[in-house]
Amino acid sequence: MSLTQLNAPKFDFKDYRSLSNEQLSQRIRAVKQNLGDSLQILGHHYQQDEVIEHSDLRGDSLQLSQLAAERDCEAIVFCGVHFMAETADIVSNSPQRLEDRNGQRVTVMLPDMRAGCSMADMAAIGQVEDAWADLGEVIDTEDITPVTYINSAASLKAFCGKNGGIVCTSSNAEKVLQWAFAQRKRVLFFPDQHLGRNTSLKMGITDDQMCVWNPHAQAMGGNERSVLENSKVILWQGHCSVHQMFKPEHVAAFRKQHEGIQILVHPECPREVNDIADVSGSTGKIIQTVQNAPAGTKWAIGTELHLVNRLKKEHPEQEIHFLSPVVCMCATMYRIDLAHLCWTLENYAAGSPVNVIRVDEKTQEWSLVALDRMLALS
């Protein structure tokens, strides 16, 4: 559970709505200049251009959690979504880091508290605990490593920490699953069924060794006992509403119309798309793949729209298309705008921090166990 400190903001958000982007940017730069390195703005690659421009550090989920764990600063403003800010709070305020700083906490802020993740919301801690208890009636839970995608609430990470499990991101899912299978013979993977399935298939785990757990089913996640008994990987029935919009017919249309085009997708895309793509990888890998390609390479990219548009701008020497004919953008990432960023920074600078993300102590302790297991592998 995250605790939000309730401070009366010194500045009211409504006064920021009418400011132009230029005015907001100027004021953001002024706060950054005054506070120097004591304040770090972290930005995920899916952020809008005008926001990411102000970030000190940008990255994918894994890179940002590593950066938050390493950085020495007094405050982090996280331009991303809620679970990312929670992770930053957990790792930057670990007992070890607190001791290094003589007990001084890093204040982590999320410019807009409505910036959540619909996938993370598809697995609630009560549902996961119920699933674990139900599974225990059919198979020995001592045989299961729970693995949570980093796109999940801190309480799920804590569940994994307590139960011998681990966190993964889209950059290290294969390494994490190898670790998980080195501990126990089965995995319960939540909340993204697609990342879990795509990674398992890549590792040679077959369809008949996987099943899907529907948390809304009447019993046993909608599975027969025999199916669960034979499963190596139990996939939670969750998905990313952005990446699930990419379809095999989009891939076929690009291949038909653009000879030599390569399809580059994020592993949150459904299997039908992931299987036929030329390259699949995290946002970090997508960026690297484009950066390393020779001029003239043609790509159709299946990931969040803002990142694809940025790649188009930054690589005019290549031909880059968005894989879907419809707009697939992350509406919650988009909630972070210059007005919210400026409002957050100015309140922090005035000594009245807003939207502080603070994970309670017990949850932090156990989620750190699961996060540290992951960070040790990366």
Return residues touching ligand SF4 (CB under 6 A).
81, 117-119, 151, 240-242, 304, 330, 332-333
- Cis status of the peptide bond prior to 191, with omega within 30 of 0: yes
Q: Which residue has the tokens 């159709």?
A: 300
Separation of alpha carbons 281 and 279, rounded Å: 7
Alpha carbon distance 235, 167 (integer Å): 15
Footprint of ligand 13P on 256-275 (CB under 6 A): 268
Position closest to ligand 13P via CB:
60
- DSSP 8-class letter at 61: H
107 part of the interface to ligand 13P, by CB under 6 A: no
The answer to whether 251 and 176 are in contact (CB under 8 A) is: no
Distance CA 237, CA 221 (A): 9
CB closer to ligand SF4 out of 60 and 89: 60
Interatomic CA distance for residues 101 and 301, integer angstroms:
43
Partner whose binding site includes residue 324, from ligand SF4, ligand 13P, none (CB under 5 to 8 Å by kind): none
* Residue 211 CB coordination number (10 Å): 20
Contact between 172 and ligand 13P by CB under 6 A: the answer reads: no
Min CB(42)–ligand SF4 separation in Å: 14
Point out which span in 13-21, 158-166, 168-176, 352-360 binds ligand 13P (CB under 6 A).
Answer: 168-176
Q: Is 169 in the site for ligand 13P (CB under 6 A)?
A: yes
Rounded to 10 deg, the angle between the 361-377 and 61-70 helix axes is: 110
Name the nearest CA neighbour of 93 among 77, 80, 76. 76
**Closest CB to ligand 13P among 66 and 214?**
66
274 binds, among ligand SF4, ligand 13P, none (CB under 5 to 8 A by kind): none
Of 77 and 144, nearer to ligand SF4 (C-beta) is 77
Q: Which of 2, 47, 55, 61: binder of ligand 13P (CB under 6 A)?
A: 61
Q: Which option in ligand 13P, ligand SF4, none does residue 60 bind, with CB closer than 5 to 8 A by kind?
A: ligand 13P
User: Per CB under 6 A, does 86 bind ligand 13P?
Assistant: no
User: Coil, helix or strand for 235?
Assistant: strand
Other beta carbons within 10 angstroms of residue 365's beta carbon come to 16
Q: How far is the CB of 345 from ligand 13P (least distance, A)?
A: 23
Taking the complex as a whole, how short is the minimal distance between the CB of residue 252 and ligand 13P, in angstroms? 25
Q: Which is nearer to ligand SF4, 118 or 378 (CB)?
A: 118
Residue 196 or 353: the one with the smaller Cβ distance to ligand 13P is 196
**47 near ligand 13P, rule: CB under 6 A:** no
Min. distance of Cβ 332 from ligand 13P in angstroms? 9
Q: How many helices (H) and strands (E) does the chain have?
A: 16, 15
Q: Give CA–CA dist 188/147, Å, rounded.
A: 6
Rounded least distance, CB 14 to ligand 13P, Å: 29
CB of 199 to ligand 13P, least distance (A): 12
Q: Residue 155: which of ligand SF4, ligand 13P, none does it interact with, CB under 5 to 8 A by kind?
A: none
Residue for token pair 């991101």: 169
Distance CA 31, CA 342 (A): 9
The Cα angle at residue 292 between residues 286 and 297, in degrees rounded to 5: 85
Question: What is the contact surface with ligand 13P in residues (CB under 6 A)?
Answer: 60-61, 117, 151, 169-171, 240, 268, 282-283
